[in-house]
């Protein structure tokens, strides 16, 4: 390549690089600026440099057909590429992107993902990253970021930056390139093809008449060697042979939050707002004030939160940061020093108390904006695509329309897409729901337990358009945005039932990626929770998912261990939860039934043994809630873990005249709340009950009659008749006579007695 | 410095590591040093975290996060005072002693804080015989370690500062901010010489400890010393100490197998941090402190058990008994914590853990 060509290697998202690049541009005054970036976005230079554009913004390339792929070029105000574009456009210079067109980049990236030997690839990237760490260690820095900041960002001397970075990158490239070819051949060739294309574009500019010395090429420093080497540029013929995916490219607003958490450009940028502060400081030529600016910001937030953070503390923090720097023989504190100074002087040595403030100043809350008419949001695009794919375009009308879905596979159609169209529709609509895009509302289905049926009402309003644009900030496609939203919710979630619900939503939205995260969060919450009821309900939610979830074509295996844990946890909480009053017992009883249901449905996975052991405890102990003890005992009976004899004994023990009537009757109520038919068949039980009643004196009898009446009130009429017949048999007056007596009208005296019972005054 | 006899139980750091310090001084001869420092900051760092100087190995004194040591040294560079806090057994005093030894070659100016420490231990007191005979005079003045450190421009240490009554702690406030001690009886004040600083240590977890006022805390740069960050670090600390203690007490049991130590440290770390080592599962932490120091005593205890009542080899049962005692302190709650840990984590770890699991669950039944 021509030696006179002006090459400038940058680190993406670096204020230092921006500063030096602008100086370089001023010096070289190029007529043509060529920048690393998808070449089909060259037409958007004017839009990017538009004064009304407020960074952070991003160029987003995305496929318009399945599978979905995206490439992102985020620009912050301190991005060297962004600064170069603005510089060039303002002065009417030719500014172009020279990387492969996005259609090829996307396709190659998808192919590249089939890199076969994952392990070897990971080993290579670990090796690659370790080189940077070693470099930092050699210079006695704690990490590469500190090394970089100290040696490059803070280095504002002309010349040394460009040459130093070029030298370092060339050296590192030399160290890794052979191993790259051997370990990650796809990634290696992807880079080579891109560089060949960039060389081709440079060549084209020269052919068009720009002299090499009139051109400045801005690429990532790693690619410099690829620009300088002797390899030939890509030929038109070769370019034609490269595979392409149908794709679009758009300019979208971006946010610092996302800039810090994910990066499209390779190089990380964990502290965008800090770098913005640095960029401002560099421009105002007061970089040395940056530590004071940064720490004052932190102190201000701390004060806002009610912590003590006096100017004196800030002064101490700045001094400490400088002292830390002097230990490294540096000139100015780096972010790491500032963090440590903030923790030590403003947070009393405790990271957690300043973590939020540090996060806010590191990351910031900035969201970019675009003037009207510029760019088209990818989520809107995705929405339209999905509507088309799922044959829902007819519903895009202001009239509300009903949509019935049957999630089961339609066996009558040939293509897979058609067979699962309703399932896919449901997934799509659930995602909209998560994103609070009010296009569709879910209705109740009459047959509640039919998990395969859904009913929705769809209606398109102007608000929906706005909501879709807003969703754009969460991700480029509905899928990504929904996943982002759920992840955020999960992050803030402190309630175990809520997190179980999020898991269900993740299932409904088919967001597999979220699943692990959600499960571990649920697991974490369940560990902290001491609430039997909540835990049991969460376990039940999972159990139901596992049992019926496969209608959504979902791998439910990962749920199983969490279910096991929740179940065990709830089981161990049972005894504690059961020492409560009757009011609280009303909440706990259903949870016990749910747990028992789980233990029956999933007896192969959950630890039924522990559960039954806990039930045993509950059943035989006298100091816990009597009603719950009764329930536990009836479960034991069902499993023949208590014998007929035990039953008779326990009834007579619980229902003995010494025991307060409400306790005895409460116990019986619990016992009778499950499986009444089985109870009816246990003659010994009724004998004991009869015996108990016979023993009572008048006053006690009235009391317990009130409670027993309540218990039997919950029985079906025919069950009550059977009991009467049973008792009739016991009293040897014959079942039929008993039945007759019961059917007869109440006498006046009997009515009077019953009224008395109704008015019974509990003198508690 | 006074002559040190060789029959003392424990030598102060500046004598214990005198060869290392001399080597560092030699190497460091031409470096610029802060006022009152005998070594440059970088040499102090090397003394604490280890390295090589003039062909002599400098043993690491503090194993853990070097960055914390850097912050500590930087703090002393700014003439601010340093407060090291942390749970029991995180090497606070050890670090403070070695910092003082490296910086001013004297770690003996120390106040050992107790509930009975009074203000006069921090400032000065009087020789009452002389005071009564001659009235207030320089000769009658008994100087506190802090007083002497201010006079000589060196470092004073204040151990267990939070055990002193709050009013006594507050005597430090004006010393730290104004760097003088007023002696009204003699009509003068003592300004601190350059190089003066205080390293205090405090324990956060123990009961019966007084709170520090925020006014005092503001005058310190505070560093929290964490429990060892890496499993390997903690295992090596435990191994080292267990061997030393076993030697001291002449225990007649074999040292436990490496895997047993690993298991104990793993269990302790997981319960302490409330998450499994692979960070995939959250766990409940028991109510008590389960520090590295407790892991060490647990293992030496099991060795004592094995030596006195067993066959001299530490068995799973010996360890299980120790674990039960160390983890289940507050009956009900801890019992459930331990049970959940056994069922959710240990049971699923496969055959290598089966023996320990069985004995532990028997004991916790």
pLDDT at B88 over 50: yes
B204 in contact with A, Cβ within 8 Å: no
* % of chain A with per-residue pLDDT over 90: 12
pLDDT score recorded for residue B1: 46
Region for A266 from its dihedrals, namely left if φ exceeds 0, alpha if ψ lies in -120 to 50, beta otherwise = left
Q: How far apart are CA A647 and CA B41, in angstroms?
A: 80
CA distance B203 to A657: 59
Which residues are bridge partners to A406 per DSSP? A453
Mutation to test the B interface, candidates A302, A315, A348, most B Cβ within 10 Å: A348
A717-746 residues labelled b (16+ CB within 10 A) or e (exposed): eebebbbbbbbbeeeeeeeeebeeeeeeee
Q: A621: buried, middle or exposed (CB in 10 Å: 19+, 13-18, 0-12)?
A: middle
Q: What is the pLDDT of residue A671?
A: 82
Q: Which residues pair with B181 in a beta bridge?
A: B190
Closest Cα of chain B to A333: distance in Å? 12
Partner-chain residue, chosen from B73, B80, B214, that has the shortest CB–CB distance to A327 = B73
CB contact under 8 A, A327 and B343: no
CA–centroid distance for A249 within its chain: 27
Q: Is A529 on the interface with B (CB under 8 A)?
A: no
Tell me which H or E stretch contains B85: strand B81-86
Q: Among A327, A519, A525, which would you mutate to test the B interface (most chain B Cβ atoms within 10 Å of its Cβ)?
A: A327
Higher-confidence residue: A210 or A414? A210
Mean pLDDT of A373-394: 78
A5 — pLDDT class (breaks 50, 70, 90): confident
**Band of the pLDDT at A1, cuts 50, 70, 90?**
low
The pLDDT score that the predictor gives to residue A451 is 66
Across the interface, of A320, A327, A520, the residue whose CB is closest to B45 is A327
If one compares B246 and A589, the residue with the highest pLDDT of the two is: A589
Strand positions, DSSP E, A492-596: none
- What number is the average pLDDT over the span A501-525? 79
pTM confidence score = 0.66
How far does A572 lie from chain B, in Å, by closest CA?
A: 7
pLDDT band per the 50, 70, 90 thresholds, residue A372: low
Is B344 close to A324, i.e. CB distance below 8 A?
A: no
Residue B3 pLDDT > 60, yes or no?
no
Contact A458, A393 (CB under 8 A): no
Tokens 């109870």 locate to A679
> How, if at all, do strands B197-203 and B81-86 pair?
parallel
* Chain B residues touching residue A528 (CB < 8 angstroms): 282, 284
Mutate to test the interface with A, among B31, B74, B333 (most CBs of A within 10 A): B74
Q: Yes or no: say if A507 and A545 are a contact pair by the CB < 8 Å rule.
A: yes
- On chain A, the residues whose CB falls within 8 A of the CB of B217 are 348
Distance CA A99, CA B153 (A): 64
Which residue in A310, A348, A527 is closest to B283 by CB distance?
A: A527
Question: What six digits make up the tokens of B339?
Answer: 């049970």
Contacts of B74 in chain A (CB under 8 A): 320, 323-324, 326-327
Contact B80 A350 (CB under 8 A): no
At A266, is the pLDDT very low, low, confident or very high (cuts 50, 70, 90)? very low
Rounded to an integer, the average pLDDT of A534-561 is 78
Given an 8 Å threshold on Cβ–Cβ distance, is B71 in contact with A310?
no
* Partner B contacted by A605 (CB < 8 A): no
Q: What is the mean pLDDT of residues B144-163?
A: 92
Q: Which two tokens stand for residue A639?
A: 């499993």
Distance from CA of A410 to the nearest CA of B (A): 39
- Find chain A residues with C-beta within 8 A of B67's C-beta: 142, 340
pLDDT, residue A487, reads: 84
Kindly determine whether residue B77 and residue A610, on different chains, have CB atoms separated by under 8 Å: no
Is B218 in contact with A349 (Cβ distance < 8 A)? no
Q: Which of B44, B46, B71 to mutate to test the interface with A (most CBs of A within 10 A)?
A: B71
Confidence class for position B205, pLDDT limits 50, 70, 90: low
* Coil/strand/helix, residue A679: helix
Strands A247-253, A57-63: pairing kind: antiparallel
CB A643 within 8 A of CB A593: no
Average per-residue pLDDT for chain A: 82
The answer to whether A478 and A379 have CB atoms below 8 angstroms apart is yes
Q: Rounded CA gap, A112 and A114, in Å?
A: 5
CB-CB neighbors (< 8 A) of B201 in chain A:
none
- Residue A310 to residue B218, Cβ atoms within 8 A: yes
Chain A: nearest CA to B222, how far in angstroms?
A: 5
Please report the pLDDT score of residue A264 as a whole number: 42
Nearest beta carbon to residue B67 from set A323, A340, A576: A340
Give B17 to chain A, closest Cα distance, Å: 23
Q: Does A192 touch chain B (CB under 8 A)?
A: no
What is the residue whose two structure tokens read 């799922």? A390
Q: Give yes or no for residue A764 having a pLDDT over 50.
A: no
In this predicted structure, the answer to whether residue B347 has a pLDDT above a threshold of 60 is: yes
Q: Kindly determine whether residue A323 and residue B78, on different chains, have CB atoms separated by under 8 Å.
A: yes
Inter-chain contact B222–A344, Cβ cutoff 8 Å? yes
- Split at pLDDT 50, 70, 90, the class of B5 is low
Put simply, the answer to whether A520 touches B80 (Cβ < 8 Å) is no
Q: Are A62 and A52 in contact (CB under 8 A)?
A: no
| pLDDT for the residue A469 | 64
Cβ distance of A569 and B340 shorter than 8 Å: yes
* CB of B192 closer than 8 Å to CB of B75: no
User: What is the DSSP secondary-structure string of B225-268?
Assistant: EPSPSSHHHHHHHHHHHHHHHHHHHT--SPPPPHHHHHHHHHHH
Distance CA A47, CA A58 (A): 12
Distance CA A538, CA A519 (A): 12
**Chain A window 276-335: which residues touch B at a Cβ cutoff of 8 Å?**
308, 310, 312-313, 316, 319-320, 323-324, 326-327
**CB-CB: which of B223, B282, B343 is closest to A524?**
B282
pLDDT score for A58: 84
**Cβ separation of A323 and B77 shorter than 8 Å?**
yes
φ and ψ of A253, to 5 deg: -65, 150
Chain A nearest-CA residue for B41: A327
By CA distance, what is B340's nearest residue in A?
A569
Sign of torsion over alpha carbons A391, A392, A396, A401 = positive
pLDDT in tens, B107-147: 889 999 888 888 888 999 999 999 999 889 888 999 999 99
Locate A101 and state its tokens.
């067109």
Residue B282 is nearest to which of A348, A527, A576, comparing CB atoms? A527
B281 contacts A310? CB cut-off 8 A:
no
B330 class by beta-carbon count within 10 Å (0-12 exposed, 13-18 middle, 19+ buried): exposed
Hey, are the CB atoms on A345 and B74 less than 8 Å from each other?
Answer: no
Choice between B214 and A88, residue whose per-residue pLDDT is larger: A88
CB B177 within 8 A of CB B219: yes
Q: Are A487 and A459 in contact (CB under 8 A)?
A: no
Q: What is the mean pLDDT of residues A127-154?
A: 88
Instruction: Give long-range contacts, CB 8 A cutoff, 24+ apart: B335-342.
Output: B335/B364, B336/A572, B336/A573, B336/B284, B337/B271, B337/B283, B337/B284, B337/B285, B337/B286, B338/B286, B338/B364, B339/A572, B339/B364, B340/A527, B340/A568, B340/A569, B340/A572, B340/B283, B340/B284, B341/B267, B341/B270, B341/B271, B341/B283, B341/B284
Per-residue confidence (pLDDT) for residue A114, from 0 to 100: 61
Q: What is the pLDDT of residue B73?
A: 92
Q: Are A260 and A275 in contact (CB under 8 A)?
A: no
- Contact residues on chain B for A350, CB-CB shorter than 8 A: 222, 224
Q: Which residues in chain A are contacts of B71 at CB distance < 8 A?
A: 320, 324, 340, 344
Closest Cα partner for B72 from B45, B112, B90, B35?
B45
Q: What angle do CA A559, A564, A569 make, to 5 degrees?
A: 125
Calpha distance B123→B117 (Å, rounded): 11
Chain A: closest CA distance from residue B95 (Å): 16
Residue A579 touches partner B, C-beta closer than 8 Å: no
C-beta of residue A334 within 8 angstroms of C-beta of residue B208: no
Question: What is the reported pLDDT for B16?
Answer: 82
Mean of pLDDT values over A503-531: 79
Residue in A33, A149, A164 with CA at minimum distance from that of residue A87: A33
Q: CB contact, 8 Å: B217 with chain A? A: yes
| CA–CA dist B168, B166 (Å, integer) | 5
CA–chain centroid gap for A211, Å, is 52
More confident residue, B251 or B353: B353
Residue with more model confidence, A656 or A387: A387
Helix axes A683-695, A717-730, angle to 10 degrees: 70
Q: How confident is the prediction for chain B on average, in pLDDT?
A: 84
Question: Edge-to-edge, what's the strand order for the sheet holding A247-253?
Answer: A70-75, A57-63, A247-253
> Taking a C-beta distance cutoff of 8 angstroms, is the pair A152, A15 a contact?
no
What contacts 24+ positions apart, CB below 8 Å, involve A280-289? A282/A15, A282/A16, A282/A19, A282/A156, A283/A19, A287/A154, A287/A156, A287/A332, A288/A332
pLDDT score of A21: 92
Find tokens 């009542």 and name the residue. B309
Strands A94-99 and A247-253: unpaired
**Residue A751: is its pLDDT beyond 70?**
yes
Q: Is A207 in the B-facing interface, judged by CB distances under 8 Å?
A: no
H-state helical runs in B50-165: 66-77, 92-104, 119-122, 128-134, 145-152
pLDDT for the residue numbered A300: 92
Query: Is A431 in contact with A480 (CB distance < 8 Å)?
Result: no
Give the one of A345, A565, A572 whose C-beta lies nearest to B336's C-beta: A572
For residue A218, list its beta bridge partners. A8, A35
The more confident residue out of B89 and A77 is: A77
Partner-chain residue, chosen from B274, B281, B339, that has the shortest CB–CB distance to A572: B339
> pLDDT (tens digit, 9 = 90+) per residue, B265-295?
888 888 888 888 877 777 888 877 777 878 8
């Amino acid at each position: 390549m021509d030696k006179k060509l002006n090459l400038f290697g940058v680190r993406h998202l670096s204020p230092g690089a921006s500063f030096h690049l602008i100086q370089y541009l001023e010096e070289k005054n190029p007529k043509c600026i060529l920048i690393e970036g998808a070449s089909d976005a060259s037409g958007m230079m004017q839009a990017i440099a538009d004064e009304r554009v407020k960074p952070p913004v991003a160029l987003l390339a995305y496929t318009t057909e399945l599978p979905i792929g995206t490439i992102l070029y985020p620009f912050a105000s301190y991005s060297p590429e962004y600064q170069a574009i603005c510089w060039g456009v303002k002065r009417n210079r030719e500014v172009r992107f020279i990387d492969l067109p996005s259609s090829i980049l996307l396709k190659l990236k998808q192919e590249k993902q089939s890199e076969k030997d994952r392990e070897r690839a990971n080993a290579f990237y670990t090796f690659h990253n370790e080189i940077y760490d070693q470099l930092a260690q050699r210079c006695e820095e704690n990490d590469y970021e500190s090394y970089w900041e100290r040696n490059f960002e803070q280095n504002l001397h002309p010349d040394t930056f460009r040459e130093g970075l070029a030298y370092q990158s060339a050296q590192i490239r030399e160290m890794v390139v052979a191993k790259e070819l051997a370990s990650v051949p796809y990634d290696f060739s992807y880079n080579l093809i891109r560089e060949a294309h960039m060389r081709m574009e440079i060549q084209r500019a020269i052919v068009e008449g720009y002299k090499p010395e009139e051109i400045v090429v801005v690429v990532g420093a790693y690619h410099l060697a690829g620009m300088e080497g002797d390899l030939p540029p890509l030929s038109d013929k070769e370019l034609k042979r490269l595979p392409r995916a149908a794709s679009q490219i758009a300019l979208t607003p971006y946010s610092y939050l996302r800039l810090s958490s994910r990066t499209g450009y390779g190089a990380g940028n964990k502290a965008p707002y800090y770098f913005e502060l640095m960029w401002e400081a560099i421009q105002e030529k007061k970089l040395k004030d940056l530590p004071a600016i940064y720490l004052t910001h932190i102190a201000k937030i701390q004060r806002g939160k009610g912590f003590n953070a006096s100017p004196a503390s800030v002064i101490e923090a700045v001094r400490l940061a400088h002292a830390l720097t002097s230990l490294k023989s540096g000139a100015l504190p780096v972010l790491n020093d500032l963090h440590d100074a903030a923790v030590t002087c403003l947070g009393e040595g405790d990271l957690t108390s300043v973590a939020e403030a540090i996060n806010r100043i590191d990351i910031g809350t900035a969201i970019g904006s675009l003037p009207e008419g510029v760019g088209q949001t990818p989520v809107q695009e995705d929405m339209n695509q999905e509507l088309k794919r799922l044959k829902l375009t007819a519903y895009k009308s202001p009239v509300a329309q009903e949509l019935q879905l049957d999630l089961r596979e339609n066996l009558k159609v040939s293509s897979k897409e058609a067979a699962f169209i309703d399932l896919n529709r449901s997934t799509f609509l659930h995602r909209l729901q998560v994103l609070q895009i009010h296009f569709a509302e879910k209705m109740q289905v009459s047959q509640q337990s039919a998990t395969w049926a859904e009913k929705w009402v769809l209606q398109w309003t102007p608000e929906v358009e706005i909501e879709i644009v807003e969703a754009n900030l969460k991700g480029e496609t509905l899928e990504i945005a929904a996943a982002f939203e759920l992840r955020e919710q999960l992050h803030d979630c402190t309630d175990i039932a809520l997190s179980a619900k999020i898991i269900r939503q993740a299932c409904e939205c088919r967001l597999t990626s979220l699943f692990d995260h959600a499960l571990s969060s649920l697991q974490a919450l369940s560990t902290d929770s001491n609430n039997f009821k909540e835990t049991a309900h969460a376990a039940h939610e999972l159990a139901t998912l596992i049992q019926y979830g496969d209608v959504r074509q979902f791998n439910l295996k990962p749920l199983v261990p969490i279910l096991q844990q929740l179940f065990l946890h709830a089981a161990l909480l049972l005894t504690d939860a059961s020492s409560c009053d009757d009011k609280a017992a009303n909440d706990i009883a259903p949870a016990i039934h749910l747990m028992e249901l789980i233990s029956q449905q999933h007896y192969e996975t959950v630890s039924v043994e522990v559960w039954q052991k806990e039930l045993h405890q509950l059943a035989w102990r006298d100091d816990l809630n009597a009603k719950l003890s009764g329930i536990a005992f009836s479960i034991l009976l069902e499993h023949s873990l208590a014998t007929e004899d035990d039953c008779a004994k326990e009834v007579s023990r619980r229902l003995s005249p010494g025991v307060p009537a409400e306790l005895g009757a409460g116990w019986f109520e619990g016992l009778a709340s499950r499986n009444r038919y089985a109870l009816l068949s246990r003659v010994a039980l009724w004998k004991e009950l009869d015996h108990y009643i016979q023993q009572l004196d008048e006053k006690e009898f009235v009391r317990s009659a009130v409670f027993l009446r309540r218990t039997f009130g919950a029985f079906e009429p025919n069950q009550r008749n059977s009991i009467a017949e049973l008792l009739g048999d016991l009293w040897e007056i014959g079942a039929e006579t008993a039945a007759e007596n019961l059917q007869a009208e109440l006498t006046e005296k009997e009515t009077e007695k019953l009224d008395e019972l109704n008015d019974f005054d509990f003198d508690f | 410095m006074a002559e040190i006899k060789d029959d003392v139980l424990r030598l102060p750091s500046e004598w214990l590591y005198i060869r290392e310090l001399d080597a560092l001084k030699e190497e460091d001869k031409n470096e610029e040093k802060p006022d009152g420092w005998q070594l440059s900051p970088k040499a102090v760092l090397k003394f604490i975290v280890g390295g090589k100087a003039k062909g002599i190995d400098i043993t690491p004194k503090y194993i853990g996060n070097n960055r914390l040591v850097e912050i500590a040294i930087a703090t002393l560079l700014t003439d601010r005072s340093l407060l090291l806090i942390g749970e029991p057994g995180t090497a606070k005093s050890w670090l403070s002693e070695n910092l003082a030894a490296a910086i001013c070659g004297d770690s003996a100016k120390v106040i050992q804080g107790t509930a009975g420490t009074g203000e006069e231990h921090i400032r000065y007191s009087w020789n009452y015989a002389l005071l009564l005979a001659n009235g207030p005079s320089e000769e009658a003045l008994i100087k506190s370690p802090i007083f002497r450190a201010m006079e000589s421009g060196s470092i004073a240490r204040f151990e267990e500062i939070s055990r002193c009554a709050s009013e006594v702690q507050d005597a430090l406030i004006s010393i730290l901010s104004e760097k003088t001690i007023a002696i009204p009886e003699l009509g003068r004040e003592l300004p601190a010489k350059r190089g003066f600083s205080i390293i205090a240590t405090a324990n956060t977890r123990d009961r019966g400890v007084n709170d520090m006022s925020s006014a005092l805390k503001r005058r310190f740069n505070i560093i929290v010393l964490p429990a060892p960050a890496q499993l390997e670090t903690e295992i090596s600390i435990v191994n080292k100490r267990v061997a030393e203690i076993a030697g001291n007490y002449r225990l007649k049991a074999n040292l436990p197998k490496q895997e047993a130590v690993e298991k104990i440290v793993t269990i302790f770390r997981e319960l302490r941090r409330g998450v499994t080592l692979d960070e995939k599962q959250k766990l409940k932490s028991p109510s008590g402190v389960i520090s590295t120091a407790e892991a060490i005593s647990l293992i030496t205890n099991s060795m004592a058990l094995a030596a006195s009542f067993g066959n001299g080899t530490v068995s799973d049962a010996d360890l299980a008994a120790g674990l039960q005692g160390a983890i289940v302190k507050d009956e009900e709650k801890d019992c459930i914590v331990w049970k959940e840990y056994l069922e959710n984590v240990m049971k699923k770890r496969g055959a290598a853990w089966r023996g320990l699991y069985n004995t532990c669950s028997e004991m916790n039944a």
